[in-house]
């Protein structure tokens, strides 16, 4: 039976007392002139620190939405991946309904994309506004395509719809969601081309007509970058999707996008999820990504993103909120935001670390600020690395080891060092070596 809902006023909403972190100083986001990262409305660089909440609009009621978003805010997440409409990973019958038994369109058989149902979209409003109040950006999918050969997306439905009705849907979205905290994402687990891309571009062109400054991207199949399949007109940033189990480690694929022309932010958008991968793999992916040129990273948990949908994982999703890697992701943000992280340039040669960098999950990932003022080196296990001290600008270089599992520093014996010659530094475990002015 669908859950009953009251429609809270601005005074009674659970997030009403929250500081409006998503106000004019943060949103709308824009892409920096360098093409490397996003920046807030006030010009401050925006480090993407994301979680995957694919099924939130259909699975959670308002109280659950607040539980989840409050937890995200506490853990520093400022970005969520969200399907605005879902037709597979839910607990409802039929599955396209939300927690209150409401459908996104009427009729649904066949889907009439030009007739949105107000009650359903009011619930989406609650989520988007709740994210805004907490300073959270939404990577929003208006018509998730679905992984090839799986009946989980909307590809059949939008292929059967008229261009005019899809444009009407896009106009509806662009007119309704003007809060500025949305990046629009096309496709979804599918590198669409031909008729599929043409149909989805009807939605996106209509959004763009209403919101010409909006940011657009697309999400393809495993082993893809947005620019490889999505219309260049709608490719403002590359979303990079690779799984380590298939050999897709971030250091290689992020840098490939980072080095490509024209320059676009190269965001590590989706890797293997905690639950199907170890916490250490998730940490390695995050650190590899941000030190290989990504303007942040997006984490995921296989037992959380569908919020207890029985077709994915019926485990109580709230038990995964404090999962090991999910709790440790904040340490990525904590360290980077102590520095001018946007200056970091990946160093996958011998210019900063002259010893072997290794491969895959054992990869050492060095990055140096463009002005040489600081550097960071992710070291995935206990080992020694040889640092070229002359790569650093300060005459006296402080060396510290940051524990990515605890967010704590320890001193390096002998530090500070002169910025001449080389130094062999033992990590003593999985660490991020941080080098800056003494």
Average confidence (pLDDT) over 19-43: 85
- Residue 7 banded pLDDT, cuts 50, 70, 90: very low
Nearest to 436 by CA among 382, 391, 378: 391
Which neighbouring-strand residues pair with 217? Answer: 185
Same domain, 325 and 255: yes
For the chain, helix, strand, coil in percent to 5 are 30, 20, 50
In a domain, 243, yes or no: yes
Determine contact, residues 316/228, Cβ cutoff 8 Å: no
Instruction: With 0.85 as the threshold, say if the pTM is over it.
Output: yes
Paired tokens of 311: 């077709």
- Into how many domains does the chain fold? 2
Domain that holds residue 422: 347-437
Q: What is the pLDDT of residues 75-92, one digit of tens each?
A: 999 999 999 999 999 999
Nearest to 185 by CA among 233, 115, 138, 253: 138
Q: How far apart are CA 208 and CA 174, in angstroms?
A: 7
Q: Which backbone phi and psi does 358 adopt, to 5 degrees?
A: 75, -165
In a domain, 14, yes or no: no
Mean residue pLDDT of the chain comes to 94
Paired tokens of 83: 């399907």
Paired tokens of 238: 């590359």
The pLDDT assigned to 4 comes to 54
Residue 63 has pLDDT above 50, yes or no: yes
Determine contact, residues 341/293, Cβ cutoff 8 Å: no
Share of the chain above pLDDT 70, in %: 95
Paired tokens of 329: 């992701």
Strand 216-219 versus strand 182-187 pairing type: parallel
Query: Residue 146: CA atoms inside 13 Å, Cβ hemisphere, count?
Result: 18
Same domain, 283 and 197: yes
Last residue of a domain, one of 336, 369, 391: 336
Same domain, 423 and 374: yes
Determine contact, residues 189/146, Cβ cutoff 8 Å: yes
Determine contact, residues 199/163, Cβ cutoff 8 Å: yes
Cα Rg of the chain, angstroms: 22
Q: What is the pLDDT of residues 179-194, one digit of tens each?
A: 999 999 999 999 999 9
Residue 11 has pLDDT above 80, yes or no: no
The pLDDT assigned to 5 comes to 55
Residue 13 has pLDDT above 50, yes or no: no
Same domain, 361 and 272: no
Same domain, 427 and 285: no
- Residue 245 banded pLDDT, cuts 50, 70, 90: confident
Q: What is the pLDDT of residues 78-133, one digit of tens each?
A: 999 999 999 999 999 999 999 999 999 999 999 999 999 999 999 999 999 999 99
In a domain, 24, yes or no: no
List, in order, residues 6 or more apart from 117 with CB less than 8 Å away: 102, 103, 104, 105, 106
Which neighbouring-strand residues pair with 137? Answer: 79
The pLDDT assigned to 3 comes to 61
Which neighbouring-strand residues pair with 218? Answer: 186
Same domain, 392 and 418: yes
CATH of the domain at 233: 3.20.20.80
């Amino acid at each position: 039976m669908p859950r009953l809902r009251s429609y809270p006023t601005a005074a009674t909403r659970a997030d009403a007392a929250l500081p409006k972190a998503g106000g004019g100083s943060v949103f709308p986001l824009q892409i920096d002139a360098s093409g490397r990262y996003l920046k807030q409305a006030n010009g401050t660089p925006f480090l993407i620190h994301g979680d995957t909440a694919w099924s939130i609009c259909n699975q959670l009621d308002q109280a659950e939405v607040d539980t989840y978003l409050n937890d995200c805010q506490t853990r520093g997440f400022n970005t969520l991946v969200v399907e605005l409409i879902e037709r597979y990973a839910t607990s409802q019958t039929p599955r396209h309904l939300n927690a209150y038994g409401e459908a996104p369109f009427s009729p649904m058989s066949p889907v009439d994309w030009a007739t949105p149902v107000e009650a359903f979209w009011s619930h989406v409003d609650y989520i988007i506004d709740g994210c805004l109040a907490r300073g959270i950006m939404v990577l929003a999918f208006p018509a998730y395509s679905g992984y090839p050969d799986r009946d989980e997306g909307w590809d059949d439905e939008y292929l059967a719809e008229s261009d005019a009705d899809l444009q009407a849907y896009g106009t509806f979205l662009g007119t309704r969601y003007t809060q500025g905290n949305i990046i629009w994402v096309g496709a979804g687990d599918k590198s669409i081309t031909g008729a599929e891309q043409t149909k989805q571009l009807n939605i996106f062109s209509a959004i763009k007509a209403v919101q010409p400054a909006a940011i657009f991207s697309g999400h393809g199949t495993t082993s893809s970058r947005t620019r490889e399949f999505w219309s260049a007109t709608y490719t403002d940033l590359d979303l990079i999707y690779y799984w380590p189990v298939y050999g897709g480690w971030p250091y290689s694929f992020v840098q490939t996008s980072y080095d490509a022309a024209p320059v676009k932010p190269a965001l590590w958008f989706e890797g293997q999820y905690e639950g199907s991968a170890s916490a250490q793999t998730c940490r390695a992916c995050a650190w590899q990504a941000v030190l290989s040129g990504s303007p942040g990273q997006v984490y995921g948990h296989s037992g959380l993103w569908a919020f207890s949908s029985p077709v994915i994982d019926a485990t109580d999703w709230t038990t995964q909120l404090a999962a090991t890697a999910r709790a440790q992701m904040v340490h990525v943000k904590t360290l980077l935001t102590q520095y001018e992280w946007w200056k970091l340039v990946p160093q996958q040669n011998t210019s900063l670390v002259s010893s072997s960098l290794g491969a895959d999950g054992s990869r050492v990932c060095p990055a140096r600020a463009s002005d040489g003022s600081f550097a960071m080196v992710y070291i995935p296990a206990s080992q020694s690395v040889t640092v070229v001290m002359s790569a650093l600008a300060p005459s006296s270089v402080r060396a510290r080891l940051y524990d990515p599992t605890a967010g704590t520093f320890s001193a390096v014996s002998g530090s500070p060092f002169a910025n001449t010659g080389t130094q062999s530094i033992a990590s003593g475990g999985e660490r991020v070596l941080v080098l800056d002015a003494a």
